[in-house]
């Protein structure tokens, strides 16, 4: 947790960076030695220690193992990554991290099922659209955050997840054919997990209530479900029982119109075969 200095809470990134430096100094290692022994670039490690860069969870796992620090760095990284999240997403992500059941309707490949390269491509495109081009550090932080969210897919017990993808999500490839092929393969791998059901809503299903936004329905172990609706530049967490029930009804109608999981897997496989040279 961040410490309070002169009434202001230190950022989680600063706390993580200081801890990295202290662990290295305790081992009597220079940055050059650490880079040589871990395989990470010296300048990259320096930026982690200065708090200028937020890593991926896997890097913190490697360094925890190197220093024999248990899961200290991973825990500090999880605290630091919260600062990357925009305010409107924070409440949703807290619920997502502990949900037992998630139902999603997505107009694009959801972050939980994205590959790192696909996520980087998409986030780079969003950055250009929002006139923040050149901010590669911010993009890398968002990629790290998105990849970190995927930890919940492998927790015990894993949440039960149903993803309905609009066909349009699978008809808009990224420019790099390999990145797109890898993303389609990732969807097929996810569909094989016992905790995930993947369906495709074909264009032939016609108009429906969820055409203009993503929808996620979340159930915790206790309490009523909530809905999260996200569109172009907005996100809203909905807890009103009547509104959540209405969204659930809309979701049920979309699910009834979607291809079965088996048909959906076959659909994605055909697309993967078509995009391979």
**pLDDT, averaged in runs of 10, over the chain (277 residues):** 49 85 90 90 86 79 92 85 64 88 96 95 69 64 86 90 97 93 97 96 94 94 90 83 95 96 97 85
Domain ranges, ordered by start, for the chain: 4-83, 87-113+145-275
Its pTM stands at 0.72
Model pLDDT, residue 131: 42
Nearest-angstrom CA–CA distance, 25 and 205: 61
pLDDT of residue 250: 96
Q: What SS3 state is found at 206? A: coil
Structure-block tokens of residue 47: 């930026």
Q: Which helix (H) or strand (E) holds 227?
A: strand 226-231
Closest C-alpha among 53, 50, 41, 44 to residue 21: 50
Backbone angles phi, psi at 163, to 5 degrees: -115, 120
Does domain 87-113+145-275 fall under CATH 2.60.40.60? My reply is: no
Asked if residue 100 lies in contact with residue 152, where contact means CB atoms within 8 angstroms, the answer is: no
Q: Which CATH architecture has domain 4-83?
A: Orthogonal Bundle (1.10)
pLDDT of residue 277: 63
pLDDT given for residue 134 in this prediction:
47
Give the end-to-end CA distance of the chain in Å, rounded to a whole number. Answer: 50
Report the alpha-carbon distance of residue 86 to residue 91 in Å, rounded: 10
Q: Kind and range of the H or E element at 5?
A: strand 4-5
Residue among 205, 196, 230 nearest 216 (CA): 230
Q: Across 85-149, where does the E strand assignment appear? A: 101-106
Residue 183 and residue 114 in contact, taking contact as beta carbons nearer than 8 Å: yes
What pLDDT, on a 0 to 100 scale, did the predictor assign at position 3?
A: 46
Task: Kindly list the distances between the CA atom of residue 118 and the CA atoms of 179, 182, 237, in Å, as whole numbers in the listed order.
Answer: 6, 8, 26
pLDDT given at position 80: 78
Token couple for 154:
């492998």
Cis ω for the linkage preceding 157 (within 30 of 0): yes
């Amino acid at each position: 947790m961040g410490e309070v200095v002169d009434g202001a809470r230190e950022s989680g990134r600063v706390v993580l960076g200081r801890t990295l430096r202290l662990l290295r100094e305790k081992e009597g290692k220079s940055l050059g030695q650490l880079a040589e022994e871990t395989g990470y670039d010296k300048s990259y490690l320096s930026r982690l220690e200065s708090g200028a860069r937020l890593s991926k969870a896997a890097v913190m796992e490697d360094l925890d193992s190197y220093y024999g620090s248990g899961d200290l760095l991973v825990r500090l990284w999880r605290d630091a990554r919260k600062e990357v999240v925009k305010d409107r997403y924070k409440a949703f992500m807290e619920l997502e991290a502990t949900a037992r059941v998630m139902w999603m309707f997505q107009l694009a490949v959801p972050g939980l099922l994205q590959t790192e390269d696909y996520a980087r491509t998409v986030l780079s495109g969003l950055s250009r659209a929002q006139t923040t081009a050149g901010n590669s550090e911010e993009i890398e932080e968002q990629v790290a955050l998105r990849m970190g969210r995927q930890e919940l897919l492998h927790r015990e017990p894993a949440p039960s997840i149903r993803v309905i993808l609009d066909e349009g999500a699978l008809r808009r490839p990224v420019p790099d054919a390999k990145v797109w092929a890898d993303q389609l393969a990732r969807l097929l791998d996810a569909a094989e997990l016992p905790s995930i059901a993947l369906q495709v809503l074909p264009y032939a299903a016609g108009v429906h209530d969820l055409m203009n936004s993503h929808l996620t329905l979340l159930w915790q172990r206790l309490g009523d479900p909530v809905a999260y609706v996200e569109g172009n530049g907005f996100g809203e967490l909905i807890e009103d029982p009547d509104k959540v029930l209405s969204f659930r009804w809309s979701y049920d109608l979309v699910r009834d119109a979607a291809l079965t999981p088996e048909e959906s897997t076959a659909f994605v496989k055909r697309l993967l075969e078509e995009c391979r040279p």
